Amino acid sequence: MSRFGIGFGRRKLSRRTVLRGAGVALALPWLEAFARRARGSEAGPPLRALFVMNNLGVLPGPFFPKETGRGYALSPLLEPLAALRDDVTVISGLSHPGVRGGHSTENCFLTGARGPTRSGFRNTVSLDQFAADAIGAQTRFPSINLGVNVDKANRSLAWTRDGALIPAEDKPSRVYERLFVAGSPEQVDARRRHLAARGSILDAVVDEARSLGRAVGPADRQRLDRFTTSLREVEERLHAEGAWEDRPRPVPSEPAPVDVADRTLPFKGYESMLAIARLALETDSTRLVTLLVDAFATPPFRLDEGAGLSVDDYHNLSHHGQDANRVAQLFEADLRQMTLLAGFLGALAERREGETRLLDRTIVLFGSNMGDSNSHDNTNLPILVAGGGFRHGGHLAFKADDNAPLSNLFVSILRRLGIEADAFASSTGTLAGLDG
Amino acid sequence: MQTSSGILPPPRRTGLWNAWAPALATSVATIVLVALVAAVVTSASKAAAEDRLAPLLPVITAACGTCHAGPEPAGGLSTEGLFRQGDSAASADLADRAVRDQLVRMHDRVAAGEMPPAPESLADDARRELVAALGSVVDAADRADIRAQGRVGLRRLNRHELEQSLRTLLELPDLDVADLLPEDRLRDGFPKSAEGLDLSRPQLEGTLDALDAALAAAIASGVQAPERKTFRAISTQLFGGTAYGEPEARYFAKGALPIEAPAVDDADVECAIFRSAYWPYHGYPAGFVATSPGRYRVRFRARAVCQQADRSLLPAPQPVPMTFRARAPSGPDVSGDVRAVGGLIDVTPDDAEYETTVVLRAGQTIEWSLLGLAVPLARNVDGGPPTYRFPPLPPGGHRGIALRSLEIVGPLPPGDGAWPPRSHQILFGDLPIQADAASALPVEVIPADPQDDSARLLRAFAERAFGREIHDDDVAPAERVVGAALAEGASFTAAMLAGYRVLLAGPEFLFVADPVGRVGGGEGDGGRDGRALAARLSLFLWNDRPDATLATAAREGRLADPAALAAETDRLIDDPRFERFVTMFTDHWLDLRHLRRDEPDARFFPEYRFDDYLLESLLAETRASVRALFRDDLPILALVDSDTLQVNDRLAEHYSLPPVRGSGVRPVPRPAGSPRGGLLTQGAILKVTANGTSTSPVKRGAWVMTRLLGEPPPPPPEKVPAVEPDIRGATSVRDLLARHTADATCAACHRRFDPVGFALEVFDVCGGERATYRGIALPGEAAVDVVTGIDRAGHDYAYRVGAAIDPRGSLADGTPFDDIRGLKHLLARRPRQLARNLVGLLTAYATGGPLRFSDRRHVEAILDAAEPEGFRVRALVRRFVVSPIFTGAPDPEASP
């Protein structure tokens, strides 16, 4: 919440200090709340989202289907998704307007901020953080940002409102620990102290506003009332955050996925990260996960342990220059990526939550900032959307020479998440063809 | 009036707004009396309103009732709904603003003869009578509302005002916190509206984050000032890695001839760069990175050169403009922020040393950004490996600069060089500091006596933050928080910061009050109104809290004197901080914040590809024009036309003017025959009113009528699609819009603004002059109409020369004009309307609320006084500031 948490002193604070003030109705974990709802009510399990991005994308030729609409023939790279084709929509003809500059566009994938190489550029809020502002308080973690082989200082999918990078987690074991193992007493205390530091000033500010409110006219008093109401809302959020510290952690269904320290095995790391993302989503620890696959920072790599190394690092490989061997290696890598995603989607489809499949309550977006890495093209981005209750099964094709804004898809996703957003970044509306 | 004696607050002295409460409380009887009188006045004015409207009700029903009645009244206006049919008289709920607004619209449209649509259905006498009656009724009701509610009431600072207030308060000129706050909503065109500036939870969370960040920046970063380091490099050591675009993009030269692999210590070698900063590029020195945030002094030696075909260097005939960019040293791919720093520098053809100061964050470096130069194209021929195409050699050669050496020193100590810095002293005075490894803070302050010191520091800080004398009550909540924190075991420093946050997060710092014209009205006011007026003036012209001079004038009651108030206005306008007004006002009034919204479409306008320098120059031009309008007290007609143009080297080229040297925008006389002069013909205006691909006379015309003349067209009818431009360029927009004149329904409105846009069609999406449209060139098309080439970014281009442009038109009253010059002549006949619109804009911007019906008399009075002097703008501002609209001076008429 704050980039500058001034902690109070060194002594431990009592819990009462943190939780004093008005009693706050806390969000219950989803299952409890659901059980209390009347049967047949419209409210279902919550919607979640996972945003996956590979910053070198995929080979556009073998990825995009030739036909459009529902009856398209699966392209070579979409073959692994054959069993799931009714749960997936492949979209062509999307890009972020004004977001050009080769690899410099990667930090704009979820933000849509224009002109990343221009003087005066500052990134804007990313889709996940925008959504977290609305729904993040309902779970223990407002959002989780993951990365494979990621250059944490320079690349991220998640950006704050003031354009600051939120570093990705690159060790699944650490994420697992944060999700499912309670923090040390010192950590819990530090967190509480930060919340208390902010909480303590709110009462005093409300006092200031109240005393002022007694001396002004009715219109001004109304405005001050709104001010104090908002202060109370800030406080409620703090309480809600603090309360999570006292609630037991969920019990995961699986042990921690392995940490893959070997950077030459990006797909093994990829698989671990998808596993931890699934655990986070299915335990409702968070409803927003990003996963940046930093292919750019990946050295010459192997598809599996013991397999041969690629002829070049991932980035140079992507500039294949039509060299047959390089194209073939890239194709294998792309195919592996699609296979992993298919496995992940399949696992979500098997899990049930109430009456529905977890997949139907989880929006999965896969894409890239590169339409064609070979030529540094930032248009015609490869985009897949799965699950989340959208109307799937087709190839939605927008104009190749006059792309539709990718942010329109983001607005559709936000709406689907129950967030009343009319616009995001360069959107001009929602994306036609996904709803209905 | 809803004040009732029963719920009067007990006397308290809590601050800015209610310092006059004791005066009230001393005489509760007076209050009761006032309330009673007010009640009588209110009911009396209501009766008067009914008296004036009642006899006209049959007239209204007859003239308007045909359309404006029933379940679906025309335009949503129902006379039945508006005027309740009472037993004896018609009554409208005049306390309801929506009702008043409808009556105002009725008044205006009937007065203008637009309603009823058939003029003969309302006789002239009846029309005059109806207009007069509506006017006086609404006027009285509006004034009663102001008396009861105030004009706009408490207004939150917007994010730029808050950032600036924190910068001034803490003496942190480089503080950067505005982006922590959500973007402010616009109302009445500006992010300055009391009603538009909301107080949502995210807003407050952002505010708290911003306050935390400001306090974090204020406290000393260590016991000692960060160590000042010096980085030096000669040309051979300057850059590591490739320049992307070799061999032309960058190479070494000695004696003006290119050399390969020079000796590393050869100080006679120059490193010459010939390209703009655009991906892929890294123009930063190898081995330098800012280890701590702050200001760094940069010196370098360079000269402007031209690269010849054999890569020898000739001195450039013109200076080459450049700036530095602060960014992370992340290679050719940019990661995170990129900021232009150190200002514009014109590198001249003579070898010279340049010096500037740049503000860097930790981990950032600087890179050279040469403006307006070539951009090599990264491409993959036949899908092969990436190569670069440098644009072809222009006449005279590729422009660039040859570098000799670079020195970076920093971080420089902030402010006057004292340590701890001023910002720290503002919080903690001269208490000693120490480092504490166990602390989350960079330093811990050691109090002599925590109780005494905290009380003293909090008071001093509150006095500084609130700009007034501080009473015990004012700091009590903050003191409680500090006391509680200390009792909980917090360090003195952490506890004090919590106390400061309480003061800054409170309403007195985050809000400004409405002056209500009690300036100099005696001691009972406690100086409240003077402070409110000073704050309004300062936020208007500086986006900031009042400085000491203005605060003193307010405290001494001098702002009650119109001459003194006008003098302060002049002082603020003359100050460099007035630039903040110029930026924010033009960003919204003229949409300059949208200058980069649409990329010029390179299919049609290859000459603008990646031309950031042009956009920067356009921005500078329009800001300079508006600045001159206010500072130089130009007549209002300078908005429409002017003999003086504000240009630099790039704009002189863009506007086909005689060449000027250098990047600085300066006034030049308009040559004979140039269509330029005035806002209408400035590229920035022509760009924000286009969409990057095509121009629309409809949009441009409506923009001009709305923004310059304050006569917005009614909203477009539903179900009529926007006209799609013909990208082949074969059909002119005029032909596509033929229906706007042929169809009477369309023409009723479009004749008012389309013609203005037609005159502007001779300017393209960036304001370049043109005689014909351009269209897409299809492959295999006859080459006769097709223009081809390679642009300055190395891209092939081909566009088709399309239909010729016809700039003729006639105004709504039928007066014809031939071109943009003719149109400007016609617009110049309306100085009073231009000035009236400006006063309306200033009202919304400066007071936080729109012009009200009852302000109209004040506006006309300002205009009457300004007319003999030709509506000079600075004088207009002075008159506006001393008017009741700005000062909130009470209505001279006690009752209607």
- The alpha carbon of A267 is separated from its chain's Cα centroid by a whole number of angstroms, namely 19
Confidence at B714, pLDDT banded by 50, 70, 90? confident
Q: Are B377 and B286 in contact (CB under 8 A)?
A: no
Q: Do A117 and B180 touch (CB under 8 A)?
A: no
The beta-carbon neighbor of B150 closest among A10, A107, A219 is A219
Coil, strand, or helix at residue B756? helix
**Nearest residue to B408 (alpha-carbon basis) of B176, B238, B217, B175:** B238
| DSSP, residue by residue, A220-236 | HHHHHHHHHHHHHHHHH
Ranking B19-28, B690-699, B837-846 by mean pLDDT, the lowest is: B19-28
Handedness of CA A273, A279, A285, A289 (dihedral sign): positive
Q: How far is A140 from chain B (nearest CA, A)?
A: 19
Strand arrangement of the beta sheet that strand B365-370 belongs to: B339-347, B320-327, B365-370
Residue-level pLDDT at B723: 67
Interface of B with A in 364-383 (CB under 8 A): 369, 378-380, 382-383
- From first to last of its 436 residues, what are the pLDDT tens digits of chain A? 333 323 332 333 333 333 332 233 333 334 333 333 333 334 568 999 999 999 999 999 999 999 999 999 999 999 999 999 999 999 999 999 999 888 999 999 999 999 898 888 889 999 999 999 899 888 999 999 999 999 988 899 999 887 888 889 999 998 998 899 877 777 777 777 777 777 888 989 998 888 887 777 777 888 898 899 889 888 888 887 788 877 888 999 899 998 998 999 999 999 999 999 999 999 999 999 999 999 999 999 999 998 999 999 999 899 888 889 999 999 999 999 999 999 999 999 999 888 889 999 999 999 999 999 988 899 999 999 999 999 999 999 999 988 999 999 999 999 999 999 999 999 999 999 998 6
Phi, psi of B361 (to 5 degrees): -90, 160
Closest A-chain CA to B329:
A154
A222 contacts: CB under 8 Å, gap ≥ 6: none
Q: What is the largest CA-CA distance in chain B?
A: 103
Q: Containing H/E element for B144?
A: helix B124-149
Q: How many other CB atoms are there within 10 angstroms of residue A153's CB atom? A: 13
Q: How far is B818 from chain A (nearest CA, A)?
A: 37
B862-870 long-range contacts (CB < 8 A, ≥24 apart) are B863/B832, B863/B835, B863/B836, B863/B839, B866/B835, B867/B832, B870/B635, B870/B636, B870/B637, B870/B831
Q: What are the tens digits of pLDDT across the range B659-670?
A: 999 999 999 999
Residues of B in contact with A106 (CB under 8 A): 333
Average pLDDT of the segment spanning B631-655? 97
- CA A297-A309-A173 angle, to 5 degrees, is 55
B229 contacts: CB under 8 Å, gap ≥ 6: B291, B409, B410
Residues in chain A, overall count: 436
Closest B-chain CA to A225:
B199
To test the contact with chain B by mutation, choose from A13, A220, A313, A401 the residue with the greatest count of B C-beta atoms within 10 A, namely A220
pLDDT over threshold 90, residue B502: yes
Q: Which residue has the tokens 């000033």?
A: A201
Interface of B with A in 55-74 (CB under 8 A): none
Q: Say how far apart CA B405 and CA B313 lie, in whole Å.
A: 18
Cα-based distances in Å from B714 to A199, B99, B503: 49, 20, 47
Interface of B with A in 594-613 (CB under 8 A): 596, 599, 612
Residue-level pLDDT at B824: 96
Cα-based distances in Å from B277 to B238, B323, B363, B367, B611: 16, 10, 20, 9, 11
Q: Do A9 and B199 touch (CB under 8 A)?
A: no
| DSSP, residue by residue, A290-339 | EEEE-GGG--S--SSTTSPPPSS-HHHHHS-TT-HHHHHHHHHHHHHHHH
AA letter at B825: H
Average pLDDT of the segment spanning B369-393? 90
The beta-carbon neighbor of A8 closest among B279, B339, B488 is B488
Average pLDDT of the segment spanning B175-200? 89
pLDDT over threshold 80, residue B241: no
Residue-level pLDDT at B81: 67
Q: Say how far apart CA B841 and CA B190 lie, in whole Å.
A: 9
Closest A-chain CA to B199:
A227
Q: Do A216 and B18 touch (CB under 8 A)?
A: yes
The beta-carbon neighbor of B18 closest among A212, A226, A321 is A212
Residues of A in contact with B179 (CB under 8 A): 122, 161-163
The beta-carbon neighbor of B498 closest among A161, A200, A227 is A200
Closest A-chain CA to B179:
A162
Residue B784 DSSP code = G
Query: To the nearest whole number, what is the mean pLDDT of chain B?
Result: 87
- The alpha carbon of B592 is separated from its chain's Cα centroid by a whole number of angstroms, namely 7
Q: Do B498 and A201 touch (CB under 8 A)?
A: yes
Coil, strand, or helix at residue B669? strand
Q: Are A289 and A143 in contact (CB under 8 A)?
A: yes
To test the contact with chain A by mutation, choose from B4, B8, B147, B154 the residue with the greatest count of A C-beta atoms within 10 A, namely B154
Q: Say how far apart CA B681 and CA B676 lie, in whole Å.
A: 5
- The alpha carbon of B729 is separated from its chain's Cα centroid by a whole number of angstroms, namely 35
pLDDT over threshold 80, residue B35: no
AA letter at A397: A
Q: Which residue has the tokens 């001159």?
A: B628
Residues of A in contact with B332 (CB under 8 A): 102-103
Q: Say how far apart CA B472 and CA B491 lie, in whole Å.
A: 24
Residues of A in contact with B206 (CB under 8 A): 161
Phi, psi of A410 (to 5 degrees): -60, -40
AA letter at B351: D
Closest A-chain CA to B503:
A205
The beta-carbon neighbor of B502 closest among A3, A163, A204 is A204
Coil, strand, or helix at residue A23? coil
Three-class HEC string of B364-377: CEEEEEECCCECCE
Residue-level pLDDT at B720: 64
**Nearest residue to B617 (alpha-carbon basis) of B583, B592, B651:** B651
Q: Are B12 and B473 in contact (CB under 8 A)?
A: yes
Phi, psi of B45 (to 5 degrees): -70, -30
Phi, psi of A365 (to 5 degrees): -115, 130
Residue-level pLDDT at B45: 53
Q: What are the tens digits of pLDDT across the range A130-177?
A: 999 899 888 999 999 999 999 988 899 999 887 888 889 999 998 998
Q: Are B509 and B466 in contact (CB under 8 A)?
A: yes
Q: Do A119 and B440 touch (CB under 8 A)?
A: no
Residues of A in contact with B505 (CB under 8 A): 201, 205
Q: Say how far apart CA B624 and CA B646 lie, in whole Å.
A: 7
User: Would you call B498 an interface residue with chain A, using a CB distance cutoff of 8 Å?
Assistant: yes
Q: What are the tens digits of pLDDT across the range B250-307?
A: 999 999 999 998 998 999 999 999 999 998 998 999 999 999 999 999 999 999 999 9
Q: Which residue has the tokens 């005393």?
A: A211
Q: Do A9 and B480 touch (CB under 8 A)?
A: no
The beta-carbon neighbor of B338 closest among A8, A118, A237 is A118
Q: Do A120 and B339 touch (CB under 8 A)?
A: yes
Residues of B in contact with A8 (CB under 8 A): 485, 488-490, 494-495, 498
Residue-level pLDDT at B41: 41
Q: Which residue has the tokens 């923090």?
A: A183
Interface of B with A in 270-289 (CB under 8 A): 277-281
Segments in B392-506 forming alpha helices (H): 422-428, 450-466, 472-487, 492-505
Phi, psi of B338 (to 5 degrees): -130, 120
Q: How far is B632 from chain A (nearest CA, A)?
A: 30
Average pLDDT of the segment spanning B814-818? 92
Residues of A in contact with B3 (CB under 8 A): 217
Q: Do B334 and A116 touch (CB under 8 A)?
A: yes
Confidence at B29, pLDDT banded by 50, 70, 90? very low
Angle between helices B472-487 and A185-213 (to 10 degrees): 170
Strand partners, A52: A291, A366
Residue-level pLDDT at B68: 83
Q: How far is B129 from chain A (nearest CA, A)?
A: 35
Q: Are A81 and A319 in contact (CB under 8 A)?
A: no
Q: Say how far apart CA A297 and CA A295 lie, in whole Å.
A: 5
**Nearest residue to B603 (alpha-carbon basis) of B405, B734, B842, B765:** B765
Q: Do B212 and A3 touch (CB under 8 A)?
A: yes
Q: Do A223 and B153 touch (CB under 8 A)?
A: yes
Residue-level pLDDT at B519: 46
Q: How far is B502 from chain A (nearest CA, A)?
A: 6
To test the contact with chain B by mutation, choose from A18, A208, A426 the residue with the greatest count of B C-beta atoms within 10 A, namely A208
Q: Do B154 and A220 touch (CB under 8 A)?
A: yes
Q: Do B338 and A217 touch (CB under 8 A)?
A: no
Q: How far is B67 from chain A (nearest CA, A)?
A: 35
Q: How many other CB atoms are there within 10 angstroms of residue B385's CB atom? A: 13
Handedness of CA A104, A109, A115, A118 (dihedral sign): negative
- The alpha carbon of B842 is separated from its chain's Cα centroid by a whole number of angstroms, namely 13
- Exposed, middle or buried by CB within 10 Å (0-12, 13-18, 19+), for A436? exposed
Q: Do A218 and B149 touch (CB under 8 A)?
A: yes
Q: Are B621 and B651 in contact (CB under 8 A)?
A: yes
Q: Are B94 and B100 in contact (CB under 8 A)?
A: yes
Q: How far is A333 from chain B (nearest CA, A)?
A: 20
Q: What are the tens digits of pLDDT across the range B95-153?
A: 778 788 888 888 888 888 888 877 778 888 888 888 988 898 889 888 888 887 778 88
ipTM surpasses cut 0.85: no
Which tops the pLDDT comparison, B58 or A349? A349
Residue-level pLDDT at A96: 97
Q: Say how far apart CA B660 and CA B752 lie, in whole Å.
A: 39
Closest B-chain CA to A232:
B201
Q: Do B386 and A319 touch (CB under 8 A)?
A: yes
Residue-level pLDDT at B443: 97
Q: Are strands B257-259 and B365-370 parallel, antiparallel or unpaired?
A: unpaired
pLDDT over threshold 50, residue B388: yes
The beta-carbon neighbor of A321 closest among B206, B209, B380 is B380
Q: What are the tens digits of pLDDT across the range A179-200?
A: 998 777 777 777 777 777 778 8
Handedness of CA B890, B892, B893, B894 (dihedral sign): positive
To test the contact with chain A by mutation, choose from B199, B445, B492, B599 the residue with the greatest count of A C-beta atoms within 10 A, namely B199
